[in-house]
Amino acid sequence: MSDDSPHGVHSTPSSNSELLGHQGAERLLRQAFESSRLHHAWMISGPRGIGKATLAYRFARYVLANAPTDTGLFGSNDFPDERNDLYLVPEHPVFQRVAAASHGDLLVIERSENERGTKRSNIVVEDVRRTQNFFHMTAGEGGWRIVIVDSADEMNVNAANALLKVLEEPPPRALLLLVSHNPGQLLPTIRSRCQKIRLEPLAAAEVADCLSKHAPSASIEKLQTITALADGSIGRALDFFESDAISVFSEIMTLFEGAPQIDGNELHVLAAKCGGKKGADTFAVADEMIRWILVRAIKYASGYEASEFTDQERALYGRLRDTASLDQWLEVWEKVDHLLASTNRINLDRKQVILNIFSCVSQAARSC
């Protein structure tokens, strides 16, 4: 399931009534539906946590609530047209049924559970075949039958081929909404059969405003740090706020600031937190933080200057730039990216990966 839930705190995309930003995408979808020439497949792509799944559910609710038989109270005449978006009041019966996963004309395809009751790592062909059976049924309320795939990136090869068959021969009044964090991973033939909507990261001011409403008592420094780390993703910002992310970030920044003389005790403390059975969540946060710092350090070293850098960042990135060349830091990035990407794929020791990463950083910083 996608991690996009960008406004309603603690709400899932299926029960989130609000969408932060993306007004242009909403207008495009609404106009496409009202033109009576709605394409049968849409791919909604963009970074994680910015509202892709929320938009998909929002559009699905709007289409289902505008079924031909839906008139009168909470019917099509009751929409607040002056908004020119896809908003549906939470009290609407369609909203309630979608939130409860009980609407007969909406099917959601996501990673299912295996025989042991644990989530599969991929969407498998059996999941996608439900789409074929679903679309061959008549819509229960005389309108559209809608499938949301969340996320399409998680389909394995057989599942992707099964979905392609659906895209090639869509039945009448069938609508496919594909949520994708990285559309480049999908089959070109799937991409070519979809209308595409690319959602961009939210403005820092939008993230900061939503975050301050969620946590009015949080310090300005904490809010600023999380907003910077979120990179335009309110989903990431909320996850960071509700986890130990700021503490992990502080530890990682301290290690980078010590390069090339990285404190061995502090490094082993972080590595130990990331290892073992309970370290997966901490490692996931460290993964994001390390990538974030290196990417911004490389931007800074290449001459990129922006107000988004904090004073602490400028001091760190300036010193890293002076200790090694841009080419050397790009080489560090390639090594670190490979280590982090390989960790889950081939089950590397997370503790050792952290130690190896900062060994690379230390060696680069010693080169000048």
Q: pLDDT tens-digit profile of 291-310?
A: 999 999 999 999 887 667 88
pLDDT given for residue 81 in this prediction: 56
pLDDT given for residue 79 in this prediction: 54
What is the biggest distance separating any 2 CA atoms in the chain, rounded to whole angstroms?
74
Residues 329-340 have a mean pLDDT of: 96
In this prediction, residue 72 has a pLDDT band, given cuts at 50, 70 and 90, of very low
Alpha helices in 35-156, H assignment, sequence order: 52-65, 93-99, 125-135
If residue 198 lies in a helix (H) or strand (E), which one and from where to where?
strand 195-198
pLDDT given for residue 36 in this prediction: 81
Q: Are 190 and 160 in contact (CB under 8 A)?
A: yes
Residue 288 has pLDDT above 70, yes or no: yes
pLDDT digits (tens, 9 = 90+) for 130-181: 999 999 888 888 789 999 999 999 999 999 999 999 999 999 999 999 999 9
- Look at 2-6, 100-104, 289-293, 335-339 and tell me which has the smallest mean pLDDT: 2-6
The strand pairing partners of 176, in sequence order, are 41, 147
In this prediction, residue 37 has a pLDDT band, given cuts at 50, 70 and 90, of confident
pTM of the model: 0.81
